Amino acid sequence: MRVALLSDIHSNLEALDAVLAALPQVDRILVLGDIVGYGPDPNAVIARLRSTGARAVRGNHDQAMLEPSTLEWFNPHAAAAARWTQGVLTPQSRRYLATLPNHGRVGRHRAVHGSPKKPYIWEYILDDLQALEILVKLGRRWCFFGHTHLPRIFTEEGEQIPNLDDWLPLPPSALINPGSVGQPRDGDPRASFAVADLDSEAVHFYRVPYDLATTQAKILEAGLPEIEAARLAEGR
Ligand code: ZN
């Protein structure tokens, strides 16, 4: 079975559509949270995802739509964008976000937004030691995650910044972050995603360019923080 891994779409419809158009043949689409926040098209992104039959887990920006008190944890720009999103979110979109679980499964593998460590506190997995602690508890499984907006593989060997050229073999225990569709932060502005092959035990990472000038124009027109437009071109 091949699973497309999409994370941190952040209301960026142009990036999502470019990824869906570039998607190779897969059996399932799995979204690792932060469907909304930062970007200008929360309702259209949710509608598009629903039309693909994608399964999804909830991210901290999705949670903020349901529980506004969590905005205290956000930086000022993120909080301003979240308040804007709350204002435009339709009841159907809000209901959809409310149905999303905090964690999911694909066969024996796990899917979360931040980290599989309980309680789910939106931890960022950023370094080897932290990853190793999680891998030991995870056992012979993979965990798909997002939240950092950085495409990465963590194994007992350490951190790997994936190349895009080929299928990368995965050991029995691994943490896989496909990077961000809608707001990459590794210096490459192209939308990031990955496909995991559960049978051949390998993962392939992809980058696709998208019409980010349109997304930027929509951000400014909506009155969202200007920094959310500028950062898309930098990939930061
Ligand atoms: Zn995010």
* Ligand 1: centre distance to CA 167 (Å): 25
Angle (CA) 97 137 101, round 5°: 10
Q: How far apart are CA 35 and CA 230, in angstroms?
A: 20
* Ligand 1: centre distance to CA 222 (Å): 20
Q: pLDDT averaged over the chain?
A: 96
- E strands, the chain, are 2-6, 28-31, 55-56, 103-106, 109-112, 142-144, 151-155, 158-160, 168-169, 174-178, 191-197, 202-208
Residues ≥6 apart with Cβ < 8 Å to 62? 33, 34, 35, 36, 37, 97, 100
What pLDDT is stored for residue 87 in this prediction?
A: 96
* Ligand 1: centre distance to CA 171 (Å): 27
What pLDDT is stored for residue 69 in this prediction?
A: 85
What pLDDT is stored for residue 121 in this prediction?
A: 78
Local confidence pLDDT in tens for the 236 residues of the chain: 999 999 999 999 999 999 999 999 999 999 999 999 999 999 999 999 999 999 999 999 999 999 988 888 899 999 999 999 999 999 999 999 999 999 999 999 999 999 999 887 789 999 999 999 999 999 999 999 999 999 999 999 999 999 998 999 999 999 999 999 999 999 999 999 999 999 999 999 999 999 999 999 999 999 999 999 999 999 99
What pLDDT is stored for residue 194 in this prediction?
A: 98
* Ligand 1: centre distance to CA 172 (Å): 27
Residue with tokens 């370094």: 127
What pLDDT is stored for residue 86 in this prediction?
A: 96
* Ligand 1: centre distance to CA 231 (Å): 14
* Ligand 1: centre distance to CA 34 (Å): 5
What pLDDT is stored for residue 16 in this prediction?
A: 98
102 secondary structure, DSSP code: S
Residue count of the chain, please give it: 236
Q: Count the neighbouring beta carbons within 10 Å of the beta carbon of residue 134.
A: 18
Select from 158, 170, 180, 208 the least CA-distant residue to 10. Answer: 180
Indicate the pTM of the whole model: 0.97
Angle (CA) 166 15 58, round 5°: 90
* Ligand 1: centre distance to CA 29 (Å): 18
* Ligand 1: centre distance to CA 76 (Å): 15
* Ligand 1: centre distance to CA 181 (Å): 10
CA distance to 51, 103, 112, 197, per residue, from 108 (Å)? 26, 13, 13, 13
What pLDDT is stored for residue 122 in this prediction?
A: 87
Q: How far apart are CA 131 and CA 53, in angstroms?
A: 31
What pLDDT is stored for residue 70 in this prediction?
A: 83
* Ligand 1: centre distance to CA 30 (Å): 15
Alpha carbons within 13 A on the beta-carbon side of 235: 17
Neighbours of ion ligand 1 (CB under 5 A): 8, 34
Q: How far apart are CA 215 and CA 17, in angstroms?
A: 12
pLDDT in tens, 48-66: 999 999 999 999 999 999 9
